[in-house]
Structure 1
Amino acid sequence: MVDALGARGLSAAAQATTGAGDATRLARQAALEGAELIVACGGDGTVNEVLQGLVGTTACLGVWPGGTANVLARELGLPRRLEAIADVLAAGHTRRVSIGRAGDRYFILMAGIGLDAAVVRGVSPTLKRFLGEGAYWLAALRQLAAWPPPRFLVEVEGRVEPATLAVLANAAAYGGGLRFTPQARMDDDLLDICLLDSTDRLRLIRWVLAAFRGAHLALPGVTCLRARRARAHGAGAPWVQVDGELAGRLPMDFECLPAAVSVLAPR
C-alpha cells in the first residue's frame, strides 16, 4: 500500500500493531504529529481502535478492508483490491460523518446490547480465522442453546422499553448481511434504535430471518426509535459490543456525536 500511494503522489509510512490498544495509540500519535490521513488496515475492530485515537483531531480516517466482515467498508462502498483502494485514498473525497459513544468508547457502525453482544463475546478467535463470519453464526447457535437471554431496559426520551436484544445504530449495515436498522444514516445526528423483546426462540429466529430484508420492523415485539441519547440498564449486567468488539456491561449511556469524523469514501 505504501508503494501504491507513493505512485499516486502520497507520502506514507506503515506502522504495525502487536496487541490491543496499539492502533489507538499509533493513530493518536500520528494525528497529533500532523498526519492528515490515517489508514486502518484490517477489520471493523481495527477501524474501531483507530477511531478512538482520531476523535477530536483533524486527521481523516481511511479504511483498507482486510478483516472478517468489513461492515464499514461495505457501508462506504469501498472496493477490496489494493490498487482500487489506493485510488480512493489518493482521490481524497471525504465524508463528514457522525459517530456514537457507548460509555467511554466510540463507535462508527453500531452498539449492541444483550444477545448480539453475548454472541461477540462467545466467538472463538480460532474459528473466526478459519470460518470468517461463520464463526459468529456458530456462536449464535450456542447462545440459543443457553436460552433465555437476560431482559434489560432502554430509556429513550422519557420512554422505558424492555428488550432482550438492542441495536443502537449509526449506520444501516450490520454483520452477516442483517439490517436491523435499514434507515440509519451516518450523516444525520440521531441513533436508530431497534429493540427486540422476547424469550421465545422461534420468534427470535423469525425476527432474524426477516432482518435480512429489513422486514422485521413491523413484527410484534419489535420497537424502533430514533434519538440523540439513550440509557440502558438491567439486572445481570448484560454485555455491550461496539463495532463487533466488547465494550463493557450495563448500565451504560449512549449518544450520537454529529459530524465528528471525516472518512475517505468513493464519490
Structure 2
Amino acid sequence: METKAPPSPVLRPLPREAALIVNAHSRKGQDLYAQAKQKLEEAGVRLVAAHAVEDPSQMDTTVRQAIADGAPMVIVGGGDGSMSGTVDELVGKDCVFAVLPLGTANSFARTLGLPLDLDGAVQVIAHGRRRRVDLGMIDRDYFVNAASLGLSPIIGRTVPHKLKRYLGRIGYLVWAIKCSVGFRAFRLVIDDGQKEHRLWSTEVRILNGPFHGGVELSDHADVDTGEIVIQAVVGRSHVRLAWDWYAKFFKLRDRDSHTQEFTGKSFTISTRPTQRISIDGEVLAKTPVTAKVAAGAIEVAVPVEG
C-alpha cells in the first residue's frame, strides 16, 4: 500500500487589518509616518489604529494596548531598538508582527529579507506571508536580532543622537574610533551546560540572526534554527577587533579568522570585569547573564519569496 505524505500545514494569509505604531524619534520615523499611513491604506491594509510615538519609552505600552484592543497585526516602524522593545508584547499572542525598517542599521529587517525602502516594506505587509521565527533572550528580556558586550555597548550608550540620525552607520564608525581609546579586553567565560570555555575577548555577539549593526557577522545564525549563536572576537588586540568588523563588512575570505562561535539553546555568560550588554542597540543588562533561544516565539510578515 502506498504511503501518502502528510499534508503540508496551510498558512493563514496575513491580516488585512493592523495597528500602525511608529517611533517618531527614530532616524526616519518622524518624516515617514504620514507617508507610511497613506501607502498602507492605498495598498489595502485597513488601519484600526495609527500612532506616531514621540517618546520611545511609550512604544511598548502603545503596542500592548493595540493588541489588547484586538489588532490582528501590529506594524512597528523604527530601528532595531524599537523592534526589540516591543516584541515582548507579541509573545504568546495571536498577532502578527510587521516591520517598517526606519532605523539606522535595520538588522532585523535584513535578516527577514525585507526591502529597506518604504514602498517595498509596505508591499510585504500588504501582500507577503507569515513566517514563524525565534527570538533571543537575555535572562527574561526578548530580543529580535542581537545582543553584544564589549565596545558596542559603549558606543550605543554614548553616541550622540544627532550623529546617529544624520550620519547613520558612518556616524557609528566615527564614534567607535573615539570610544576605542582606553577600551580594554576582558576575561570571558561561556558555560554551555557541559563545559566552560575561558578566553580573552574584546567583543561578544549573541546572535538570533546573522546581522548586527547592519553587517552580516555569521553564516550560522538565523531566526528559525531553534538555536542561538555566541560569537566572540578572541584575544586582547584592538586591531583584531577593527579588522574583524572590516573583514565582515567587506565579506573577505578570512573574515572569521579572529572569532570563535558557540551554537546551542542556552548559555551562561560571565566576564571579568563586569560588562554592560547592548540588546538590539539599547544598553539594558550587564554580566553575568543567561542567553538562550525562544524557538518559534512569534509570527512575522515576510516576502512571499523569502
Figure out how many residues of one structure are paired with residues of the other and give that number: 265
Cross-structure match for 1:121: 157
SS state of the match for residue 185, structure 1? Answer: coil
CA distance in 2, matches of 1:248, 1:175: 18
CA distance in 1, matches of 2:271, 2:289: 10
- Aligned partners of 2:275 and 2:287 also within 8 Å: yes
- The alpha-carbon deviation at position 14 of structure 1 amounts to 0.9
- The alpha-carbon deviation at position 160 of structure 1 amounts to 2.3
- Aligned partners of 2:134 and 2:223 also within 8 Å: yes
| One-letter amino acid of the counterpart of residue 296, structure 2 | A
- Aligned partners of 2:189 and 2:196 also within 8 Å: no
Is 2:109 aligned against 1:78? no
Give the RMSD, CA atoms, in angstroms.
1.9
CA distance in 1, matches of 2:268, 2:103: 30
SS state of the match for residue 56, structure 2? Answer: coil
Cross-structure match for 1:144: 180
Is 2:150 aligned against 1:108? no
- Aligned partners of 2:56 and 2:82 also within 8 Å: no
Cross-structure match for 1:181: 218
Is 2:12 aligned against 1:9? no
| One-letter amino acid of the counterpart of residue 72, structure 1 | F
SS state of the match for residue 14, structure 1? Answer: strand
Larger fraction in strand: 2
- Aligned partners of 1:173 and 1:182 also within 8 Å: no
Match of 2:277 among 240, 249, 258: 240
CA distance in 1, matches of 2:95, 2:254: 38
- Aligned partners of 2:79 and 2:101 also within 8 Å: yes
Match of 1:258 among 292, 295, 302: 295
Is 2:228 aligned against 1:199? no
Match of 1:168 among 200, 206, 214: 206
Bigger-Rg structure (1/2)? 2
Q: What TM-score, normalized by structure 1, do the two folds share? A: 0.91
Q: What TM-score, normalized by structure 2, do the two folds share? A: 0.80
Aligned pairs for 1:208-227 within 5 A: 208-212=245-249, 213=251, 215=253, 218-219=256-257, 222-227=259-264
CA distance in 1, matches of 2:239, 2:44: 56
Q: Given the superposition, is the C-alpha separation of residues 9 and 211 from structure 1 closer, same or farther in structure 2, using an over 3 Å criterion? A: closer
Aligned pairs for 1:34-113 within 5 A: 34-113=70-149
CA-to-aligned-CA distance 1:145-179 (integer Å, 9 cap, x gap) = 113233332222323232331111111122143x3
- Aligned partners of 2:228 and 2:264 also within 8 Å: yes
4+ long deviations beyond 6 Å: none
More divergent stretch after superposition (34-43 vs 15-24): 15-24
CA distance in 1, matches of 2:198, 2:83: 31
CA-to-aligned-CA distance 1:115-139 (integer Å, 9 cap, x gap) = 2222222312121122111221122
Cross-structure match for 1:30: 66
Q: Given the superposition, is the C-alpha separation of residues 83 and 99 from structure 1 closer, same or farther in structure 2, using an over 3 Å criterion? A: same
Q: Given the superposition, is the C-alpha separation of residues 92 and 203 from structure 1 closer, same or farther in structure 2, using an over 3 Å criterion? A: closer
Which runs of 5 or more residues in structure 1 are unaligned? none
CA distance in 1, matches of 2:255, 2:263: 13
